[in-house]
Amino acid sequence: MIKEVLTIGDARLLQTSLPVNLSEFNTEKLQLLITDMRDTMKSRGGVGISAVQIGIAKRIAIIEFDGNNPRYRDIGDCPLTVIINPLVESIDDELIEYPEGCLSVPEIRALVARPKGVRYSFYDQTGRLIKGVSDQFFARVLQHEVDHMDGILFPMRVKQMNRKEI
């Protein structure tokens, strides 16, 4: 079911999401939440969404995209990936800038500097531990979604807004 997406200015987006408990994996409730998140993300043409964006402050995100996304070019494909209780660490000293947008920050895109490469681990909806390394678009989206879980929206990471000089 398509849910309302909270937008910037809503204090609920600034909360820190709670980890998912072991007892919550493999439940119908979790599956329903993931389905709602996916329906909502797809209805808005997004490539990732965190549960907190639909008002559920749990450390759950999904990422799914293909090369046909009109918002981003040359990003490759990522089948539906459910990300629960993620840990992400940089493997790059250097930050690179890339234009980001967010379903919770309508009509704004801005360059955000983040490490290109990350090492990650997370659980899927069945409780299986997934580990990997990425320096692709997936790494960018993953870092953006983990930020949501920590109450951070991408404009908070923009170093310089192009404000009119006065």
| Residues ≥6 apart with Cβ < 8 Å to 133 | 91, 117, 118, 119, 120
| Locus of tokens 């204090």 | 11
Any catalytic annotation for residue 145?
yes
| Residues ≥6 apart with Cβ < 8 Å to 17 | 50, 51, 52, 57, 58, 59, 60, 148, 149, 150, 151
- Residue 134 vs 143, nearer CB to Ni ion: 143
For position 78 contacting Ni ion by CB under 5 A, the verdict is: no
Least gap, CB of 78 to Ni ion (angstroms): 16
Choose the stretch contacting Ni ion; rule: CB under 5 A; options: 87-95, 102-110, 121-129, 158-166. Answer: 102-110
For position 75 contacting Ni ion by CB under 5 A, the verdict is: no
Binder of Ni ion out of 34, 41, 62, 102 (CB under 5 A): 102
Least gap, CB of 28 to Ni ion (angstroms): 26
- Residue 45 vs 128, nearer CB to Ni ion: 45
For position 54 contacting Ni ion by CB under 5 A, the verdict is: no
Interface residue list for Ni ion (CB under 5 A): 102
**Residues involved in catalysis:** 145
